[in-house]
Structure 1
Amino acid sequence: MPSAAERTRTLVQSTCSGVLLSPGVESALPDHLIADERTVGPDGDVFLVLPADSPVVRAATHAQDDELPAVLEITDVAPVSVPHRIRGRAWLSGWLTRVPGIAEPGRMMLRLEVGEASVDDLWGAESVEPDAFARAAADPLAGHEAELLQHLHAAHDEQVQLLSALLGRRSMAAGRAVPLALDRFGLRVRFISEQDSTTFDARFDFPEPVRDVVGLRRAMHHLFEAAAH
């Protein structure tokens, strides 16, 4: 399974919604607390680009000792329609400073020096050490996951449904199958009862971790073949 640091890094480098929270910083426009871009530097610092008139940019500009305490909260929502659609959240707390002269006109870059991090997702809740976050790499499929899940749901619904054959006794209660999450280690499917809409998740591991979309195609073919037989 992916480590907590890898899962956190994947969320930070994804397109998931992320909001910056800081004591005393409020905005009438929630978009002013959402970064337009997020990147992670080699030392694990998170760089965020926001509108130059964002309240959090102004607060960082005037912060005492040039450091503003803040929390970056990231919410991961499944890209397909499914009950209980929020797949997880990650929190990175630390100190914000301005990085002048980098962003485009009308934008400002802030650096978040990470002091603490945690993730609460489909794998469970765990804390993440800043050093582990800095060393971790995002999942190689993360940039394609939303598109791949939507494609599986729309074009391969029958094959995804057949995966219930791999559940053993639980297959009797499987119901409708929706692909929920995808990473280099496997596919997670949410099964929804047609009778009472109760749900359970099942994880289908690949024979070996995949490195790219080409490897994923082979792994999915192997998975579907196993279900068909």
Structure 2
Amino acid sequence: MALADVRATGPTNAERIRSVMSASTSLSLTTGGNCYDLIAMHTVDEQGRLRLHAPADSPLAAEAVCAPRGLLAGLLQFTDIAPVAVRDRIRARVTLSGRLTPADVQSAPDVLVLRLEAVRATIERDGLAEDVRLDEVGLARTDPLAAEEAGMLNHLDRDHHHHDVVAGLSRLADARVLRDARHVRPLALDRYGITLRCEYARGHHDIRIPFPVPVRDAAGIGAQIDRLLSQAHGCPHRRP
């Protein structure tokens, strides 16, 4: 008996959470008494453990130091925004809840490092929220394209030659999806494939195009795109 092909065509939600955490440059933190917008103040290690690096003289540091038993309850929210200016640019929201406590190792006297003891992780996509087990988040890996995705998508969107690439890839979609589309633009890119967004006079529709083989890094993107374009040349329909 032949085994079914169960090859993944997209990241798991645990992988999405890890990628959003790692690629985001900002997050919002809500505690019992305050709300903070934190820019370039968090790091994520290989095990998915998050740390905040707060100036020692900041309100956040003061609140953390004064928290009962040194445990500051907090809600951390990340927003994954498409780098290309498409309609409805929010691709996902990631929420982590738990307790912040001073890390065992403090690297500099003017910075208070807080580690998050997470108790819950949630991701919201396409209007649906899902809790993800913390052990799955810890075992997941950040997508190898996460750090470079924004630059690559903007390059595809802005460069005249690469507009032809997007148009070619769109031929792999059902012709009915392309009918009446005013624009087709790149929305997301990960090691498993690329997502295009068809925008109509009203509304939009996303097209997921898996790579023939998942890539290991950005250097493998070109070969997979070329293979997809070769497939597209054999498709009977063209975008009107």
TM-score normalized with structure 2 length:
0.85
Match status 1:13 vs 2:19: no
Match status 1:185 vs 2:192: yes
Structure 1, unaligned runs of 5 or more:
none
Of the three residues 195, 203, 210, the one matched with 1:198 is 203
Give 1:125 deviation, angstroms. Answer: 2.9
Preserved contact between residue 44 and residue 130 of structure 1 (Cα < 8 Å) = no
Give 1:103 deviation, angstroms. Answer: 4.4
Provide the alpha-carbon RMSD of the alignment: 2.0
Preserved contact between residue 196 and residue 208 of structure 2 (Cα < 8 Å) = yes
1:19–1:150 Cα change, 3 Å: same
Structure 2, unaligned runs of 5 or more:
1-9, 235-240
| CA displacement, residues 131-183 of structure 1 (integer Å, 9 cap, x when unaligned) | 11111110011010000101111121122023232222323233311100001
SS in 1 for 2:75: strand
| CA displacement, residues 114-134 of structure 1 (integer Å, 9 cap, x when unaligned) | 110011125953211111111
The equivalent of 2:172 in structure 1 is: 166
Match status 1:68 vs 2:72: yes
Preserved contact between residue 77 and residue 86 of structure 1 (Cα < 8 Å) = yes
1:43–1:184 Cα change, 3 Å: closer
Q: How many residues align?
A: 222
Preserved contact between residue 35 and residue 49 of structure 1 (Cα < 8 Å) = no
Give 1:54 deviation, angstroms. Answer: 2.8
The equivalent of 2:4 in structure 1 is: none
One-letter amino acid matched to 2:172: L
1:1-229 maps to which residues of 2 (within 5 A)?
1-26=10-35, 30=36, 33-41=37-45, 44-99=48-103, 102-104=106-108, 106-121=110-125, 124-155=128-159, 156-168=162-174, 169-193=176-200, 196-229=201-234
Give 1:35 deviation, angstroms. Answer: 4.7
One-letter amino acid matched to 1:120: E
| Greater Cα shift, 14-23 or 99-108 | 99-108
Give 1:184 deviation, angstroms. Answer: 0.7
Distance 1:16 1:207 in 2: 31
Preserved contact between residue 27 and residue 38 of structure 2 (Cα < 8 Å) = yes
1:42–1:187 Cα change, 3 Å: closer
1:21–1:138 Cα change, 3 Å: same
| Greater Cα shift, 90-99 or 106-115 | 106-115
SS in 1 for 2:172: helix
